[in-house]
Amino acid sequence: MKKIFLLSAIVCLFSCLITSCIKMMQEANETEKVHMITVSYKVNAVTGFVPYSGEAEPDPSFQTKGLEVNFINYQEGSSFKSVVGDNNIVTCSLTPGVYAINVAGSVTNPKGTYRLNGSSLNVPFTKDITPQDVVSNPEYTINICPAKVGSVLFSEIYYCGVAPYYFRDQTYTIYNNGQDVFYLDGLCFAQLHPNIATTNLPSWPEDDGRENFVYGLVVWQFPGTGTEYPLQPGEAVVLAQEAINHTVNNPASFDNSMSDWECWSGNALRGNPDCPDMPYIFWWSPNKMQWLTSVFGAAFCLFRIDDAVVNKSYWEQPGHWQRVVGPSSTRYAKIPADAVLDGVELLTSMSALNMKRIPGFVDAGGTSVETTYIGKSVSRKVIGKRADGTPIYQDTNNSTNDFQVNDTPAIRRDSQKIPTWSRANAL
């Protein structure tokens, strides 16, 4: 009896093994050989709210016909280019795969010059998509958010630290690349979520729609009542985690003691008492030790919400913050897309472009010094000079193209000017 039971058990086990084995093989046998497919996609410029379904009314004042669309397959390293045609539809022949769709271009209308940049990440193409499919299915639409060409931008970011594990010297330079004076008063500087590039992107509630917001982990705000801190064309302002001569602590680091503000989080033992502190107006769970952004590369944006007093109490109001779907209670500042003036996505390495985590209207690409603690910085490429010798930087809203890697960080690189009110003038 025992033997029969044992034999039956062995036969059952073996049958299960064989069955699962046959299923695995059948799935493999049913796979078809790869072939080229032709896909169509609609490119809409939308100025209003885009619901989660993606069904949004395009703004007729922004025509997307003629914009270049790049279908990028990061896994294979391939890209296929095409141009938006009639009915705002772009058609492209490509290999099946997961693509990032990047749209780039600009348009000038009576309201000014606008960038029509946008991207849609992780789009799976497995079959032909006809223009008829596109018309009937909003799933095949990329909504881009027209952004007015602004003047203020990040010109240099030093984030990776220097060996051995020294990270207190992180420094950010903000520059006026335009032709008019820009008042820094009330301008917000946000570190975005997620802090590190990842394929595991956070899931936001459907009520927020699709790419209508970016979400801030920490928001700093320039002080001032409105016209206290003018930034003239060609002038730069420098912010630091800690504004001291870091070569005292680490000879391989550099001196950023002349920074205009410290992003000080409350550690009485650290910081330069001579350098004013920039207040943070949003930080759900402040780190009182220091404001350390990822040495692997965080993502940042500059924004200004018009017609609203943006301070600490603003971010406490419902509707101005958001939580990731799930059990986490962490709040993130909800930054409207149309408030963003500039943004940069920093990556662990350029090969991590497939791990991009912020929408294309903030930064259609990404940049990286490639590794940690090597004392390098990223800065914008110079495409011209003003009469006074100050640089004109490249700003296509794609940091992959706009930024370069420098062997060492610099304060006001490329002959940037110091604002008249800056404490750096006295140092």
Binding site for another protein (CB under 8 A): 14, 17-18, 20-22, 24-25, 27-29, 31-36, 74-78, 95-98, 122, 124-127, 163-164, 196, 199-203, 296, 324-327, 348-349, 351-352, 354-355, 370-373
Question: Among residues 244, 241, 275, 207, which one has the least CA distance to residue 52?
Answer: 207
Question: Among residues 45, 53, 312, 344, which one has the least CA distance to residue 197?
Answer: 344
Which of 350, 382 has the CB closer to another protein? 350
**Do the Cβ atoms of 65 and 21 come closer than 8 Å?**
no
Q: How far is the CB of 183 from another protein (least distance, A)?
A: 38
In which element (H, E) is residue 399 found?
helix 399-402
Q: How far is the CB of 3 from another protein (least distance, A)?
A: 17
Which of 164, 226 has the CB closer to another protein? 164
Name the DSSP letter for residue 32: P
Partners of 394 in the β-ladder: none
Where do the DSSP E strands lie in 193-309?
213-221, 230-231, 236-240, 261-262, 280-283, 299-303
Inter-CA distances, 121 with 124, 203, 268, 402, Å: 9, 14, 43, 20
Inter-CA distances, 168 with 207, 275, 287, Å: 38, 15, 14
Question: Among residues 223, 312, 300, which one has the least CA distance to residue 262?
Answer: 223
Which of 23, 312 has the CB closer to another protein? 23
Which of 129, 153 has the CB closer to another protein? 129
Which of 124, 384 has the CB closer to another protein? 124
Parallel/antiparallel/unpaired status of strands 230-231 and 299-303: unpaired
Q: How far is the CB of 51 from another protein (least distance, A)?
A: 17
Which of 110, 326 has the CB closer to another protein? 326
Which of 120, 422 has the CB closer to another protein? 120
Q: How far is the CB of 48 from another protein (least distance, A)?
A: 26
Q: How far is the CB of 375 from another protein (least distance, A)?
A: 13
Which of 275, 324 has the CB closer to another protein? 324
Which of 47, 79 has the CB closer to another protein? 79
Q: How far is the CB of 367 from another protein (least distance, A)?
A: 15
Q: How far is the CB of 353 from another protein (least distance, A)?
A: 8
Euclidean distance between CA atoms 147 and 182, whole angstroms: 17
Q: How far is the CB of 127 from another protein (least distance, A)?
A: 8
Burial class (CB in 10 A: 0-12, 13-18, 19+), 36: exposed
Euclidean distance between CA atoms 263 and 280, whole angstroms: 8
Euclidean distance between CA atoms 380 and 57, whole angstroms: 35
Q: How far is the CB of 116 from another protein (least distance, A)?
A: 26
Euclidean distance between CA atoms 193 and 331, whole angstroms: 10
Q: How far is the CB of 239 from another protein (least distance, A)?
A: 25
Question: Among residues 98, 103, 73, which one has the least CA distance to residue 88?
Answer: 103
**Do the Cβ atoms of 144 and 117 come closer than 8 Å?**
yes
Which of 199, 425 has the CB closer to another protein? 199
